[in-house]
Each structure stands twice: as C-alpha cells, then as structure tokens.
Structure 1
Amino acid sequence: MRGEIRIKGNPVDIKNPGDARGHGIAMIFQELSYVAEMSIEENFFLGEWPSRWGKISWKKLRYQVTELLSEEGLTYSPGVKMKYLSISEVQHLAIARAASKNAELIIMDEPSSAITEREVAELFGRIARLKAKGTSIIYISHKMDEIFQIADEITVMRDGKVISTQAKEELTMDNVIAMMVGRELSGEYPRQAMRSPPAEISLEVCSLTSQKYFHEVDFRAYHGEILGFAGLMGAGRTELMKAVFGLARFDSGTVKLHGQAVQLKNPAYSIASGMVMLTEDRRKYGIIPVRNIRENTALASLDTVFCKGYLDKDREYTIVNEACEKVNLNTKDYEKIISKLSGGNQQKVILARWMLLDPEILIMDEPTRGIDVGAKYEIYKIMDQLVQKGKTIIFISSELPELIGMSDRVYVMSGGRIRGELTRPEFSQEAIMKIATGSGLSE
C-alpha cells in the first residue's frame, strides 16, 4: 500500500481508528458496528469510556448518554441492550453518536439506508448545522437524489478507482450513474408488464395478529406477481413477514400456501414448503460472515452435495458456480470470505443460495439497501425474470420510487394494519404517503 493522507495540508499517519479519532475524524459505517449484548450507554462510549482512577465512571457515562439522547429527541433508555433495537434504531443512534464527538470530519457511509424520510430530513438538517460550524462531511451514498440535494462536490468511484471529481452543478444524475456502472442503463427499473391478470393465489394470509406488532392482517399474493409493501418505520411490515416466514411467532390467524392452511413453525418448514426470505439485516440473518462464498451459497442445499456423510466437492462447486453466474456475482473466487465482499455482492450470494432451491415464493425485505446502482439494477432484473417464470415476490422497500417501479400491486401498512391497496394505475409517492400517514385512504 502506498499514498499519503493530509489533514489541513499536513501529512498524517493513521494506522487505526484510534489514530483517526485523535485527528478529529469520526465515521458512521454502512455495516453498523455495535456489540449486541451491551447497552446503548456502553456502546456509545465503547473504547473510550470515561474513567477515574482507573475505574469506569458509570454515573458520568449514564448522565452524558441521557443528555445526548435528550438533545437528539430520542426516547430510548440508556440501559437497553442493543440487540433489542431495530436496524433503523441502531442506525439512528450511530448517527447521533458520530455527531456528538465534535469531529472536524465525519464520514457517513450510507447513513440513510435504514431511516425514514422524516429522519432523513432531520439528518440533512443536522448536516447543515455541522457544515455551518465548519465540520467537513464525506457522504457516501448510492441514492442520487440525496447526493444532489446535499453535496457541494461529487466524486465517482468504480472498481477502486476515482473516475471523476466535479462540482455538483457540472453533473446530472444520468452522468453520475453512467460513470458509476461504466455504461448507460436501459431504464432504471427493468420491469416487464405481467403476462396476464393474476389468477392463481400462491400465498394467502388471513387475520394474522401479533399483539405487539400487527393486527388482523389479510392479504393475497399471486403467481407471477411482485407484491409491494410500503409503510413508515414501525408500520409492522418486517415483523409481519418474519411471522409469515416462521422467523417470529404470531398469536392468531392463518397462513395458506396454494390454498392449503399450513403451520410454518420455523424457517425450515417454510423453506421446505417453497418459501424463502431475504431479511433486511443480511449480517444478522443472511450471511455467515466468517465463511466463504461457496459455503454461504450452498448452505441451504447441503442435502444435495453430501453423499453417505461425505461432501461431494465437485458437485458443490458446480451448483455454486451455476447459481453465482445466474446472479452475475463479481468474482470467481468462491473461497473468498463473504464479509470481504461489497454489500451488493453479499446480497447476490444470498439470492444465489435461494435460487438453488427454486422456490415458489420469495419474501424480499429491503433487498437493495446499501448497495450500488449497478447491483440494484441486476437485482431488479433477477426479480423480473423470476416473476416471468411464475414465481411470487413479496417486496418490502422504504424507497418509494423502486417500489412503484417494480411492483404490480402495493399494500400500505401503518400502525400494524394494512390501510390500503393500490394497483399500478393508482401508483404515486403521494398516494402511498397519504395512506401511510393516515391523511388519505385507498378506496
């Protein structure tokens, strides 16, 4: 490795995060870094706990965190363990933590990937205040509307190299996207029209209720359909789909697959029944970070690569290679540890894993969160190819443009209930937000 880092014109030697903090640099990571079994207050000061005479000053620590949470308008108790928070809540806290350090430079890597539009507006307001105080912000994002809203200068990178650095006024979104992927994209959402109106129901949910998260939910999903789910944070979409998949319990109600009531006690039952799920938190539920691409891809198909207790490595390589080629994985080195891949390629590995099973129903919860424009486009194409073959996709997304661009129908949730259903001719961001916020109802 070679090169030089300069701060205020002076060369500096940064060997680790501690050195960076010493030079006034803070960072919010795309893959959120926290210790799940520790509390909010412990995570806030991880590695730099206030101490006196060699002992941690817990009273001081709790006071500082309580003050900070109050200033940020967050209602969490400092003693709550991080594992009980949602990914969006964890990200919100990460943003508050970085902003509290009085850093001269804050690097934000996909800071809006798991927060609501209202919280994004609050984040932009915080960024404006930081800039006014003289703080520099490096804002890494694949969301072009955000980049063009807050950036002064835009640097485009591809394959580890800087392609261009220009003032925002000199660029358009199409220019930036073309430089990012190295080619022009033929349409942002490659969704073909449904071959025929939906007729055969693949998944039906009747009066599904979890006292804590959702209530009396009814919906149908059809063969050859992308069924979208919209809603603000806390609407209950993710909790509902975890229950449908068997990843969480529900109190009452019925789930039907192909017209037959089933008891999906856990994910294994669902997978055996032809239903799989890409969760919103791929680090926690999707990948095994210390294992390689081959092992992560073949994870759900071990019964096809083991014979009499022995692993058939040739068979395993063949099916992994075939699946990874279908998703256009950006490497042939299947022995590479999956945590070394980009977010987009990690998501492709999970997709490849499920495609090996040829499922009938795919639940995809925020499948494009934190991935680049090119990888998003490829995932959209895979989704379209699957439904053209008659598969059913349930598509949860907080990005309304992609939900509108890819879905055939959209259910809108709020307060744990489905508040409205929209078909393609009725799609608009305004219509969805009116239902999600309770200011309008779907007929």
Structure 2
Amino acid sequence: MMDVKKIREDFPIFNVKPHGKRLVYLDNAATTQKPESVIKAMEEYYEKMNANVYRSPHYLSVLSTEAYEKARDKVKKFVNAKSEESIIFTRNTTESINFIAYTWGMKHIKEGDEIVLTIAEHHSNILPWQMVAEAKGAKLKYVYLDENFRLSMKDFEEKMSDRVKLVAVQHMSNVLGIINPVEEITQIAHKYGAKVLVDGAQSVPHMKVDLKKINCDFFAFSGHKMLGPMGIGVLYIKEDLLDEVPPFLRGGEMIDEVYEEYSTFAPPPLKFEAGTPNVEGAYVLISAIDYLERIGLENIYEHEAKLLEYGLEKINALEYVKTYGPMDSKDRGGIISFNVEGVHPHDVATILDEEGIAVRSGHHCCQPLMRYLGVPATVRASFYLYNDFDDIDALVEALKKVRKWFK
C-alpha cells in the first residue's frame, strides 16, 4: 500500500472535521480533492502571469500564452496523444461529448444511420446522442451487460453493422467500476467503418491511458476528477479527423480572416477554442498531472485494486447489504455501489455523513442502468490515492449503525 498518511498531508481538506469527525472522503467519482501544490498553482497564475492568451505582445500575455500551451503539451504526453493539435480544452467531459455531437455528429450522421451506446453510460454520453438521433433520423442501439455485470462483447458484436456510424462508450463505469475493453471495441468498430468516442472521465485519473494504443477517434475527460480544478476539460480529436470537425463555437481567437459575409478559421486546435479559455484551469492542470505522475498511475491503480478487494470482502460480509457489479477486482476500478436492505440510499448517505463519511447517493446520472439493475438508486463509495483500509473500516462500522438505526 502507498503511504496514505503522508499523502493526506498534501491535502488541506483533510483538516476539516465534518460534524466533529475525521473526514472519510469516498465521493471521488464525483470530484477529487486538491493537493496544496494545485491550490498554490492557482494563486501563482493570478499573482504572476494573469493576462489573456495570444492577443497581446506584452510580458504577461506572453507568459500566460506559454503557460497555456505548456499545459496542452503536458496533457498530450500524459495520455500519449500523437500531436498537440489534437488536444482541445473545454469545460468538462460533458462539454467535450456535446462538442462532438453538435459538430461531427450533426455533420456526418444521416437518416437511417445507427449509434451504438452501452446501457451503463453516464447521461452525458446518452443525451447528446439522443439529440443527434432525433435531429437526423438515426437510431440508437444499446449494448447490455453479461451475467457478471461486465459489458457483453457478444452483444456488442451482434449490434455492429455497416449502418453504425459511431460507438460511444465509457472507459470505466461511474457506477459499477467496470473497465471496458476500449481497444478491442475500437478495433471491431473500425472494421465496420464506425468512429469511436470514449468517455474517459473515470479512467484517466486512476490508470495509465494510452491514446495511441486505444486508437479511438474521440476521447474526453475532466480535470476536477484528477486533482485539478473544476471548469477545465479535455477533448481529444484524432489527427486525421481535425479537418472533418467544424468549430463548435465561433467568435474571438478561432478565426483566420473575418469578412462581412464569411470567415475563415485558424488551424487546430485554435479553431475549436473560441473566446477567452480557462487559462488558469489549464495551467493548474499541469500541477495536478505532475502530482499524479510523481505518485505513479500504475501505483494508484494497484492501490485502488487492493482497496476494492478489501472493500468488497468487508461490505459483502454484511448480509443486509447488496452490492452491484462484478464480485472481483479484475478490470474494475475502485468503485462500490450498494444498497442497505429496507433503507433508502439517501437516508444511508445522510447517516454516513453524520459519521464524517462522504458518499454519493442517487441514480448517479445513470437512470437507464438503474432501471436495468432494477433499483431506483444506490449508495456509491469511490476510492482514490488518499484512501486506505481505515476508511473502509469506518464505512463498514457506519453501515452497522445504519442497520441498527432502522432496526
């Protein structure tokens, strides 16, 4: 196990005592806490280099522009993309997916075409494609899970045909923690001429992602789920598609020439980043990536696998608790969704909060998956590098109190 006690010293939030109790933060799939280095990077940006990017030749603007482009290069290397031109900064994963839906999707998907999704997708990877399908007369097809709550590759292959123009799939489920074989999915989809969009919101913070290896066409993730600030996201567009994707927003900085009747656009990635971008968010993301690389993504993944194994063993030992998802940690991230018999998930989360334990309750923006599982909602505990076995023990003891409270 990693030295969690030492790691927690880097995170000021753990000095907070909710209801006078030690903070046990198990809501990392929603957002992660920030180390001191990330918090200081935000201050550093505003104290030393705040200016608008690209627009001016003065000292501060040059510093700000260099910082912004340094962040782009940092992200490129972090996910092993081929070129910086493929890295576009957005607000978050949701905006990145909508970006592709409103641009590439509305341009290339026609009446009678098909879009393949999975039943476990986050709403952010369903609603944009519902919009495209309705507008263009296309059809949505869903891939379901097998008896072990993993994506059925048999069902996926059966859903594929020459009519499929796009496969939109999450890399890791924010409810079940399952890690989908996106490299294999991409290989199969490309055989049918379909493009592949991967939602990497839950994978990038917890495991090493190699976009050259995955070979998908679009990839999206958010900074706030990987120790970075809110309001900064990343969209990757494969190099050979950059000219096929029109701008999402139009305005300042993304132009080449503007005439009274028409305009021409700057080359990628600038043509995709209209207006003043979140420069400070991009700059701070550098510090978040530095921190993760210092710890090591492989170490984080192994650490969470041990937490998952321990958590599944302890929680499944409670006969009044039902967990959802595979019963092992193979190809699974550090997420456990569960319900306490006879107790609403919101009530469970409220009682856990009284013990200083932060979890998520609800449908987790995955209502189709909830219906598929036959439940309206679940409680979700999600782990990260600053969690340890003591946090899981605290959760288990609090669940015993929930049972006692509701008899």
By relative contact order (CA 8 Å, sep 6+), the higher-ranking structure is 2
Write 1 or 2 for the structure with the bigger share of strand: 1
Answer whether TM exceeds 0.5 for this pair: no
Q: Tell me which protein shows more helix as a share of its residues.
A: 2
When normalised by structure 2's length, the TM-score is 0.30
